[in-house]
Structure formats: C-alpha cells, structure tokens
A and B are shown apart, each in its own frame.
Chain A
Amino acid sequence: MRRRRLLALLGLVALPACLGAWQDADPRARVRALVDAGKLDDAIAAARAAGPDLASMLGETLVLRGRLASADSALQDAVARKAPGWRSAAVTLAELAERRGDHADATRRAQALTSAYEQGASGWSSTDRVAAGRAYLLQTRGKAAAVRSALSAFDAAFAADPSNLDARLRAGELFLDKYNAPDAKASFEEVLRKSPDDARALLGLARVAIFASDAPSMPLLRRSLEKNPSLVPAHLALARLHLSAEAYDSAAIAVRAALAVDSSSIAAWSLLGAIAWLQGEQPQFVQVREAVKRLNPRPADFYAELAEAAVAHRRYSDGITLAREALALDSTSLRALGILGNNELRTGSMEQGRALLERAFAIDPFNLWHKNTLDLLDSLKTFTTIETPRFRIVAPREESALLATYLVPLLDEAYDSLSARYHYKPQGPIRIELYPHHADFSVRTMGIAGLGALGVSFGNFLAMDAPSARQRGEFNWGSTAWHELTHAFTLGSSEHRVPRWLSEGLSVLEERRARAGWGAGPTAEFIAAYGSHHLRPVSQLNDGFVRPRSSGEVQLSYYEASLVCEMIEKEFGPKAVTDMLAAYKEGLTSPAVFARVLKLTPAQLDAKFYAWVRARFASPLRAITATDSGRVLGGEFVAAMRRGAEYLSRKQPDSARVALERAEALFPEYAGASSPAQYLAGLAADRGDYKEALAQITRITTRYETAWDANMMEVQLREKLGDTLGTRAALERLLWISPYDVELHGKLAELATRAGDHRTALRERRAIVALNPPDPIDARYQLARALAESGDIAAARRELLPVLEQAPSFEKGQALLLELRAAQQKSPP
C-alpha cells in the first residue's frame, strides 16, 4: 500500500514529461498521466491495452474525448463486473444521463451510490469517496445538505489518500461553484504545491481570478492549456474571456479547440451558439442549436448560456427572452432563473424579478448574488420613488427630495439634448436608482460588493451612487447621471449592439458637452500611457475596458474612447456617430461599421486616430516621458513641476511662478488637483492679484469636475471681486460635487434672491428644507418667504402655517403671516 502511494505521488510529480519504466507496473498511473498531459487518444489506447480492469478509466477517458457511446459501453461493463473503480464508472453514467437531460435517471443512479455510501463507507477507497461526492452533486437542486455532503465526501477522499489530488480539485471547484473564492483558491494552491503543473489547478486559479477580478487570468489559462491542451473547460474559459471582450473570432477559435477534443460538449456548443447569435449569424446558430438538441433534446443550459451572453453584451431584453426559453425547457434551471430574475429587476419589473430570485435561492441557498440581491430588495422597500413623465427616481427616503430637486431638471435637460442628437426616445419611464451605500449599488449591479464604477446603465434602468455614498470630491453626481443616461440613448438607438468602447466614449463626450468641466480630461498619466503605446488602438479599445493590462487602463480608456468619438465627429461630421449606431443596430461588426460609415479599415482608423492624438497633444507628448510600464517618468513638464514645487517649499514664489508657468505652457489642458494652475492660483492670491488667481483657478473649475477646493476658492475670489453671477455659477458647480452643505445652499439662495432669480432661490430653499437642517423651522420660514417673494402667496401660506403651528411665538413668521394676509387682501385669489 505504501509503495503504491509513493509511486502515484512520484508519477504526479514526474509526469507527463517523461514516462518512466514503472508505468508498465502501474497502468492506471500511466493512463492518468496521459490524461493529465492531454494525450487522450494515447490514454484510451493505454487503457484498452491494460484490459478489463481499466474499463472504468477507459470509460471516463472516452467521455473526455466525447466518444459517449463507447464510453457508455465501457462504463456499463465496469459497473456490471464491479471492476476496480466501478463506483466512478457508475457516477460517470449518472453524469452522462444528466448531460443528455435525463434528470430522473441521473438522480436514480446518484441516489443508489450515495445511499450505499451513507450505509457504510468503511470499505470505500479514496476514488470511491470522490465518486460519492460527485453523486451528491447531482442531487443538489434545492438541497443544501447535498452540497455539504459532497464536500465532506471530497474531504474524506483526500484524507484517505492525500495523493488523490482529484479529491482536492473537486473540493476547490465546488467551493468556487458556491462562491467561496478564498477556500477554492487555497484548495488549488495546495494542489499546485504538490503538483506545480496541474492543469486543472491552474484552471481553478484562473477561474478564481476571474471571479474575484483581482488578478490577470489569461496567463493562468494559457499555462493550464500548455500543460493539458485537451482540457475542455480551460478552452471554454478562454473563449468566455474573449467573448466578454467582444473578440468573437478568438472566442470561436477557443470553442472549436474544445470541440476538437470533445464534440459532445454541450457547454462548447452553447458557447459557439452564443457567438453565432451575438454576431447575427442565423444559419450557423440554427446548425449549432440542432447539434445541441441531438445531445440533449431539452437543452435548457444552451439557452441559459445564450441568455448570459446576451446580458453580458448589454442585450437585456433578449436575455430575458432567452432565459424564458431555458425555463420553458427546465423550470428549475438555476442559471435561467437567476438571469431572468436579475434582468426583470433591471427592467423595473421588481415583483417578478424578486419572485424568480426567491425560486432560484430556494434551489441554491449558497448563491451569494441572489441572497445579496434579495436582501437589497428588502431595504429598497424603504426607498422613495419620485415619478415624472420621463423618469422614475428611486432614492433613500431621507435624500429623495433633495436629490430629485436637482436631478429631475438635469435629466430632463439631458433627455432633450440626447434625444435630439441621437434621434431616439427611450420607451417608457427610465428608472434611476441612487444608493447611499456603494456596496448596495454594487450588489444591485452585479450581485456582490466590489464594483469600482460610480454608475451603471442597463438601458432604461440606471443605478448609481448617491452623492452621500462617497467622500466629497470623489465624484460628480450630475455628470455621472448624465453619463449613464447617455447609455440609455446609445444602447437603445443601436438596439443594444453598440460596442462598449463606443458607448462609453459617447457618454464621456456628452458629459463634456453638458457642462464645462464635466467628463474626463487629459492627465499626465494619459499622456504617458498613450505616448508609450500602453493604450489600445481604436480597433482593440474594448480590451481596455474588459481586459485591462494595468490598474489604471480602464479609466484611461474612458478618456481615450471619448477622444475617438470627438475625432469622428470632427473629422466625419456629427452624423457619422448616429450612422455608426444605426449600422451596429443592423448587426454589422465593427470593421463593417468602420468601412461603411468612415470608409476606413480598422488599421486605417487606428492610424488616423493615432495621428490625431499626436497632433492634438503634441506639446505634452513631447514634454512627458514614460516608464516601461507606461507610467509617468519625467520630461520637461515633470521637471518644471518639480522645480516649481521645490521653489515653493523654499518659499521662493517668483521662481516657483516661472517654473509653474512653464509647466502650464507645456500642458495647458491639464487641470488636476495638483496642476500648475492650482499652485499659480495660490501664488496669485498670496500676492493679492485676485484677477490672476481667478483666471488660474477657473482653468481648473472649468476642466475638472470634482474640484471642490478650487470651486470654493473661486467662490471666495468672485465674492471679493464682486462678481455675483460668477459666484453663483461656482456654487452651482459645487452642488454637483456635494449637495449637502446647508451654508452653500443658503448663500446661493441669497444671491439668487438678490438677483431676482426666484426660481433658483426657491430651489435652494427647498433643498435646505430637504437637508433637514439644524434649524428646520427657520429653513421652512425662509422657504415661505421665498415663495412669497416669487409671488406665490398661497404656497407661502401653506408653507408658513405648519411653521407657526409648531412655533406660534416665532416673530419673523408672525410678521410674514401678516404680510401674506395683507397681500391676499390687496389681490384676493
């Protein structure tokens, strides 16, 4: 016994590079090594050569090769003869039944195994225990206990034989299937410590990386396939990665590689079907669908895969239709219930969505996404909904009045502007949810916490952080809302076929058009990365969003995409953009869209954009150099900034000014928090040159959407200079960075009142009341006064009476009441 274990262990370490003489002594190890190395045909031959004792292994290997009829025969034979490993054969037969849609047969076979296991497992080998675990996994629908039993069986198998890495791998895969990435990762790492080239463990780690989005998965996948080129799940994982980047050709190549190994893989056929469906290749799609039906006459998973792909490509209503088709074939399809439930919620059908997720959760109580979403739906009940003809704004009760005061007019303005530009009007009200806790927004978006975005659009459903979800100065909630609403138009007008880069680029461009300073702008990081070719060309820009090579690439890709859109508008006219959206709506691929609308090949478009950027940012591109990884290294701009900072620290303002002005001349568009303008404004203010300070600080406030301090400085400077109109504009900008400062609202209200702008004064007084200020009675009195000043005596009275009801001794309120009475008597209603 000890010797066999040692041999097996040695085999795992040494194989598949060199097959030693001991293989002859242990044909099982030889077959296993060949399987692990992806040499399935050789493994099949070796298993056949080893005779009936290896019937079980032969059957399992034939399954991997997709030769299901032969596999079935070998497996049946193994079970009938109770050949070594026959329990593995038995569970493989159950799995095959499940694959072809015969759930009853699969369950019957699995139950037979697990019943026997539960009656007494003392004589069961490690491999038998793994078989029991696999059998439990076939019985998990709605049975959380079966999941635990499966895990326990895998653990028992590993305890019985620590060289049985399959047991550990299956435990890891189960952990991951049940959303427990840390334990999954630990399991795969344990396997890799014993067998550093284990392809399944490498695949497992890649899946963990994809799940957690915390590490690049592609190198792990490639290594996994290098070690086992026949590992179908690795090919499929690679295909899914390509598909998520809308790289259809690469995805199809990966799927075909999987099918070349196992032509019976429904998962592979499903992905191929998804690729065909997404590209609108109907004949190929039909062909694939028929192939799947031959394997499983009721292929719910096929439609679930299509539904997932549709949703991942922002085609949410198609996703709903496809998920419904999946459910029609299998009403317990967890994937379909989840997709349908989540997307019903995304389209605003809250009750239907909840009911579906409840059903899904009853089947799989481990599903983190469904649990989080159901919890969130509970807390969403306390939110307030504000309805307008175009929008349905859902926000926390205590903030809804404040946020809607600003958001409704902004969204109406955006709607008018965008519908005119894109010749499209979204159907039905657009639902916008604002979350005071970022984690809730993240759960609403993708089921778990950890999403880095500020907002998200699913077409007619938008979700975003409320301004209270983040620290002041972290984001601009107005531009975020505008950005997300733009998606509703670009997605809708292209029937959700616009590629991610174009949709994001247009959203950022529309932000910039909405207000001076809104939307991303050029930074030293962008210049360094672009100048050193660390950002993608237009034809590959989607990868910058879905497969970033560095932590900052996504952010920089947003700006780059907006520049592409800007260039297209400038060079080809604004109609080019709507023509492109129309072409995508027809189902054209990007190269076809470029050819039709821009008359360019992808390579020509890449070259044109490159030259355009080089010309537009010629000066900063010369003045900023990059490291090998594309980060800012140095150059004349950086040197001038450093000199400026050095002089500032030495309290030599004149020299600092010269250096900073040089830096500003080299990169005049740069307006970040530590831009030359920031320092130059400070220097000018220090020497009492308020006009120059204002000129400098305005460079920032009109280019940088979250510049709280700079806008505050602008308010002070404009007040000093007596520019009330400019002060009001700066205050308006501040409110889109954070609307919670009662004092700023008060200041804006006063300035507006003085200017006779009653509409703004009223809005500000209403905002103060909505903020539940320290002195609510006075705030409501001020609102009543503003209403009176705007001429709305009746509304003023309605506002004032509850004030005096609570505080009858309030003299200012009493005086206003008499004023209102006098006004009413002069001009009765």
Chain B
Amino acid sequence: MSRRVPRLIAQSCALGLALALPSAARAQRVHVIAAAGLSGEPAFRLLFEAAVSTLVDSARARWHVADSSLFALAEDTNGTRMRATGRATRKELEQSFLALSRRVAPGDIVLVFLVGHGSGEGTDSRVSLPGPDATAADFAGWLAGLARQNVVFVNAASGSGDFGAALAGPRRVIVTATRTALERNETRFATPFVRALTTDEADADKDGRVSVLEAFAYAKKEVARVYEADHRLLTEHATISDSTLARSVTFGAPRSAPTDPRAAALVAERSELESQVAALRGKKESMTPAAYDAELERLLVLVAQKTQAIRALGSGAKP
C-alpha cells in the first residue's frame, strides 16, 4: 500500500505532464493573426509595427509557421518596413479569420495579437483601425469559426480589459493589457509580451518552449519594472482568462520525435524521471530537507545523464 500511493501519484503526474505538453505527442500547427492598429503618431507606429513584425518573424523562423497561416496586418502597407500581408482594417481582419477557419485542424493553436489604441466598453470595446474599428463583438463572431482550436487572443491595446469577458469561452485564453476598459493610457504590455514569446527569456522551466502563462507572467513583471523605473504609478494591469489552458499552450521550436529508437527510449526514460521530480516536489513538505535534497539530486543527475546520452547519440531531440 505504501508503495502504491506514490506510484499512483507518479502516474497521474506523468499523465498531467502529457496533458500539459500536447505538442510533444503530435504535430500541432500554429496560426497567427497579428494586427497593428491606428497609431496616431510616428512613435506609436514604430512601436506597434515592431511588436507585430517581431512576432510574425519569430513565428516564421522559430515556430516554423507556414506563410499561409500568417496574417500580419499593418496600419498602412506603404512606407513600412514590416512584411505586412494586408492592411489592418476591419474587413481585412474579418477575411483573415475566415481564411484561417478554413485552414485550421482540430487542436491547432491560433494566436491572435492586437496592438494599438483602444476605446469603448463591454462588447463595444474596440481597437482603433483605419476605417471602421473592430469591436469585441466583432471578434466574438469571427472566433466562432475556431471552436475546436486552442485560441490565444491577446489584446495589448489600451482600454482592452473588457475583451476578457466579451470573448471568454472554452479552449480560449484571453489576455488583455488592462484590467478594465477604463485603463486608457498608453500601454507597455505589447513589447515584453512579444519578447517573452519570441525569446528564451520567459521560459521559466527551461523546457525549451514558452507557455502563454509564462509569457504573461514575464510581461506583467516587465511592465511593472518599467513603471517602477520611470517612477510612475502603474496604470495598466494585464489579465489572463484561463491559467490552466494558458499553462499548456506553448510556443517554441516544433518538437520532433527522435528517429533513433535508442534515443526515443532515452527520451521516454528521461520523461519518466522528470515526472518523478515533479512527484518528489509534491512530497517536499513531508520530507526532511536533507532527504529531499539527496533524492532530488539523485533524480536530477539521472535526468542529466539521460540528456548526455541522448546528445551522445546525436539525435538532436529536444527535451
């Protein structure tokens, strides 16, 4: 009995890990719609375009997103260094969603990223665009076609808070730069959030991929740091709708299963060891520090040795 309980825990932890890493099990495609709204002045335009550009470039280069799954919409396609696929108009956005809804497969990840100036409240919350603005109600309608995908909807615009409630739904993570529609000062959230998704900095558990939750935590911390450094009162409070789903939706280089069966076995063994580390963490409070440290080190050394062995086989499989 005393042996079964830990094993059960270990199994459920391993199961949890498997659920948390769905992309490890199969090729999961990522699709991106990123739009820079109306800027109003050159400094904002540079800022907005830089965020969208960095995100799209990284999606292409790091996450290997196909061009056909990338929609990069700019305020103005002329005079921009951004490789825009179209103008960030309401109509163009609608068409992008429509096009995407025809390409996606169940379980795919759809990342929608908006940056700009926001206004309105409730379902009438909007992002300023050239021509008619797009409201939260519009986006709710367009997202209806993506019911079987994991949607990460990021509105980094000012006054974006009410998008959270307007778009909430199953299989959706809604991230907004502000807590309410009333936080209408210029926001700083977009830049660190994009940096989080497109570099390794936010990869808190160093598993080689950045979850939406990791990116959100990173960006939120960086925003606070910027305000503190500027000696300004924090006027934006980012929110996230579903932290459980946000933990499991990750971005990074696609995982490839090792082709060498020896490597595949090693990877599986290492996964099992990692799950044992996770199980051990759960027992930390009930163990003496010395016993815990000794067991932790033993497991970690084994994990490290597996990685060393995988590397030695030259499979290149990422953990």
Q: Mark A residues whose CB is within 8 Å of B.
A: 468, 471, 740, 772, 774-778, 797, 801, 804-815, 817-818, 821
Contacts and interface: CB of A to CB of B under 8 A. Distances in A.
B287 to A, nearest CB: 13
Contacts of A818: 301, 304-305, 308
Contact of B229 (A740, A808, A810): A740
Residue in B192, B206, B303 whose Cβ sees the most chain A Cβ within 10 Å: B206
User: A-B pairs with the 9 shortest C-beta distances?
Assistant: A810-B206, A814-B304, A807-B206, A809-B319, A809-B207, A807-B205, A808-B277, A775-B201, A804-B300
Interface string B294-305: 001101110111
Contacts of A776: 204
Contacts of A468: 228
A377 B274 CA distance: 47
Contact of A805 (B200, B208, B221, B296): B296
A646 B221 CA distance: 45
Contacts of B228: 468
A775 B300 contact: no
Interface string B216-229: 00100110000011
Contact of A809 (B201, B205, B229, B297): B205
13 contacts: A774-B202, A777-B206, A778-B206, A801-B296, A807-B205, A808-B274, A808-B277, A809-B207, A811-B206, A813-B206, A814-B304, A814-B307, A817-B304
A810 to B, nearest CB: 3
B81 interface: no
B296 to A, nearest CB: 6
B278 to A, nearest CB: 8
Contacts of A813: 206
Given A805-B281, A805-B296, A807-B205, A774 B305 contact: no
A805 B218 CA distance: 20
A471 B207 CA distance: 38
Interface in B131-187: none
B204 A814 contact: no
Interface string B192-217: 10000000111111111000000000
Given A468-B228, A774-B218, A811-B319, A806 B205 contact: yes
Given A814-B307, A818-B305, A809 B208 contact: yes
B301 A817 contact: yes
Given A804-B300, A811-B307, A817-B301, A775 B202 contact: yes
A815 B296 contact: no
Nearest to A741: B229
A821 B222 CA distance: 36
Contacts of A778: 201, 206
A797 B297 CA distance: 9
Interface in B236-279: 273-274, 277-278
Contacts of A805: 277, 281, 296, 300
Nearest to B273: A808
A740 B230 CA distance: 12
A399 to B, nearest CB: 11
B3 interface: no
Given A805-B296, A815-B307, 6 more contacts: A778-B206, A801-B297, A801-B300, A808-B299, A809-B205, A818-B305
B202 A817 contact: no
B67 interface: no
Nearest to B305: A818
Given A777-B206, A801-B293, A814 B300 contact: yes
- Interface of B (DSSP majority class): helix
B251 to A, nearest CB: 16
A809 B274 contact: yes
A778 B218 CA distance: 14
Nearest to B222: A774
B304 A815 contact: yes
B300 to A, nearest CB: 5
Contacts of B274: 808-809
Given A801-B300, A817-B301, A806 B204 contact: yes
Nearest to A819: B304
A772 B222 CA distance: 10
B4 interface: no
Between B200, B273, B300, B307, the greatest number of chain A beta carbons within 10 A of the residue's beta carbon is seen for B300
A814 B221 CA distance: 27
B102 interface: no
A801 B300 CA distance: 8
Nearest to A468: B228
Contacts of A806: 204-205
Contact of B204 (A777, A804, A812): A777
Nearest to A775: B201
Nearest to A437: B231
B277 to A, nearest CB: 5
- Chain B CB within 10 Å, residue with most, of A777, A805, A821: A805
B284 to A, nearest CB: 9
A811 B308 CA distance: 9
A392 B192 CA distance: 38
B208 A808 contact: no
A797 B296 CA distance: 12
A8 to B, nearest CB: 53
B31 to A, nearest CB: 26
Contacts of A774: 192, 201-202, 218, 221-222
A814 B307 CA distance: 8
Contacts of B296: 801, 804-805
B253 to A, nearest CB: 14
A813 B277 CA distance: 15
Contacts of B305: 818
Contacts of B319: 809, 811
A814 B308 CA distance: 9
Given A818-B301, A821-B301, A809 B222 contact: no
B200 A814 contact: no
B309 to A, nearest CB: 11
Contacts of A817: 297, 300-301, 304
B103 to A, nearest CB: 32
A468 B227 CA distance: 12
B50 to A, nearest CB: 18
A814 B303 CA distance: 8
Contacts of B304: 814-815, 817-818
B231 to A, nearest CB: 7
A814 B296 CA distance: 13
Given A806-B204, A807-B205, A471 B231 contact: yes
A828 to B, nearest CB: 15
Contacts of B205: 777, 806-810
A807 B208 CA distance: 10
A449 to B, nearest CB: 15
A609 B278 CA distance: 74
A589 B62 CA distance: 77
Contacts of A804: 296, 300, 303
B23 to A, nearest CB: 14
A299 B10 CA distance: 78
Nearest to A805: B296
A590 to B, nearest CB: 42
A815 to B, nearest CB: 7
Nearest to B271: A809
Contacts of B231: 471
Interface in B100-137: none
Contacts of B299: 808
The residue among B204, B221, B228 with the most chain A CB atoms within 10 A of its own CB is B204
Nearest to A740: B229
Most buried by B among A797, A806, A810: A810
A804 B228 CA distance: 30
Contacts of A740: 229
A812 B203 CA distance: 13
B1 to A, nearest CB: 28
B200 A808 contact: no
Given A740-B229, A814-B307, A818-B308, A807 B301 contact: no
Given A471-B231, A775-B200, A809 B206 contact: yes
